[in-house]
Amino acid sequence: MKPKNGARLSGLRRQRQHFRNWRPGAVPGSLEGSPAAATPDTAPASIGLLRYGAQGVLAEQRLIALAGFQTPAPQATEVTWLHLQGQPTSEQLKALGQTFGLHPLALEDVLHREARAKLESFEAQQFVVLSHVHRGSGDGFCADPVTFFLGRNYVISVNQGPQDIFEPVRERIRSATRICAHGADYLLYALLDLVVDTAFVLLEELGDRLEVLEDQILDEPDRNARNQIHYAKRELVLMRRAWWPQREVIAALMRDEERLLSDTTRLYLRDCHDHAVIVVDFVETYREMASSLLDTYLSAVNQRMNDIMKVLTIIATIFMPLGFIAGLYGMNFDTASPWNLPELHWRYGYFYALGLMGAVVVGMLGYFKHKRWW
């Protein structure tokens, strides 16, 4: 059985990217991964459909498959939102691409899961990839890609994480709030904003942990505090890798050349971009804080070692003259000799020697105190 610290560290190391889905020499846009990436036991992604207009929800249902699904007409005013929850299979992605005319390169990025946050324009579509960082089943955080396809009157979202995070947006649509009065571009903004804002909960949790660690290090630094700092630094590396490119993606989306975004949506996207910038600033601040905590821990450990060595040095220094006195009176010479120790004939010579030792100890401690060595 692995120690707790070793098991947790192994769990954090597993969060790094593994490029198992890439098959060297594969055709660009291929939806076939490498044999090592095959997971036949994985269930296909669940498909949810939500169609709404200015008056509210028009249709909401769960789809078993995309066969026979009718794409919205180009002139349709209602918005169609198709959401895939979980890891989609290659068959699902092929059907999705055939139905909506999605580019194979974008579908390849959805399948392979290793795509960083980015924005791509394909004819009359926008392809957006963000990273949703969340707490995994064990210790530490993990990042799952969340991809979006934006068309004239539809949005396709694919969340490959374990939980559906878009339920708050559905509740807003069911309540016929402001989101229903706008088009598909505003729906995309709402989804992007939700993914970005989930970072603040994790950052607040991480910030509280770092503050507790700071108090623990200043009070009593131990090995557990050092491990906690190491875990926090690895988590911050994961967060930075996931969130750093997102602000550039949102900024590039605001400069959309396909005119799929209205001026109103661009205004709201600016606020979303501000949130992404704040998230990155927090990550950088916490990285510096974690690094300074590690330096503080090392300084505290060194200071503690110095205090221990100082106490031990004082004890050794005190016992040096005591050892000399004890050794001096422990020399058993001929008591009849006139050059023998006169104290050997004293009735209270033993107490004299003990008193001399006590006086030496008190005198040395007083001297150390005067010199501020103790």
pLDDT digits (tens, 9 = 90+) for 234-290: 889 889 988 999 999 999 998 876 678 888 899 999 999 999 999 999 999 999 999
Write down the pLDDT at residue 1. Answer: 40
Write down the pLDDT at residue 192. Answer: 95
Section 62-66 average pLDDT: 80
Q: If pLDDT is split at 50, 70 and 90, which confidence band does 111 have? A: confident
Write down the pLDDT at residue 271. Answer: 94
pLDDT digits (tens, 9 = 90+) for 179-233: 998 999 999 999 999 999 999 999 998 999 899 888 888 888 888 888 888 888 8
44 and 66 Cβ atoms separated by less than 8 Å: no
pLDDT exceeds 70 at position 114: no
pLDDT digits (tens, 9 = 90+) for 120-155: 888 778 999 999 988 876 666 788 889 999 998 999
Write down the pLDDT at residue 116. Answer: 80
Nearest to 65 by CA among 29, 33, 81, 89: 89
Of 3.30.360.10, 3.40.30.10, 2.70.98.10, 1.20.58.340, which CATH number belongs to 308-370? Answer: 1.20.58.340
Q: If pLDDT is split at 50, 70 and 90, which confidence band does 364 have? A: confident
Write down the pLDDT at residue 8. Answer: 56
Q: How far apart are CA 229 and CA 12, in angstroms?
A: 13
- Look up the pTM and report it: 0.77
Q: How far apart are CA 259 and CA 152, in angstroms?
A: 9
Q: How far apart are CA 109 and CA 116, in angstroms?
A: 9
Does CATH number 3.30.460.20 belong to domain 43-299? yes
69 and 190 Cβ atoms separated by less than 8 Å: no
Q: What is the 3-state secondary structure (H, E, C) of 55-112?
A: CEEEEEEEECCCCCCCCCCCCCCCEEEEEEECCCCHHHHHHHHHHHCCCHHHHHHHHH
Beta bridge partners of 84: 47, 158
Write down the pLDDT at residue 159. Answer: 92
Task: Identify the H or E element spanning 270.
Answer: helix 263-329
Work out the mean pLDDT of the chain and round it to a whole number: 82
pLDDT exceeds 70 at position 160: yes
Percent of the chain with pLDDT over 90: 26
CA atoms within 13 A on the CB side of 314: 18
Q: How far apart are CA 156 and CA 148, in angstroms?
A: 5
Section 103-128 average pLDDT: 84
Write down the pLDDT at residue 148. Answer: 95
Ordered by start, the domain boundaries in the chain are: 43-299, 308-370
Q: Which one-letter DSSP state was computed for residue 121? A: E
pLDDT digits (tens, 9 = 90+) for 331-357: 766 667 777 777 777 777 778 888 888
Task: Using DSSP, state whether 340 is helix, strand or coil.
Answer: coil
Q: What is the 3-state secondary structure (H, E, C) of 45-56?
A: CEEEEEEEECCE
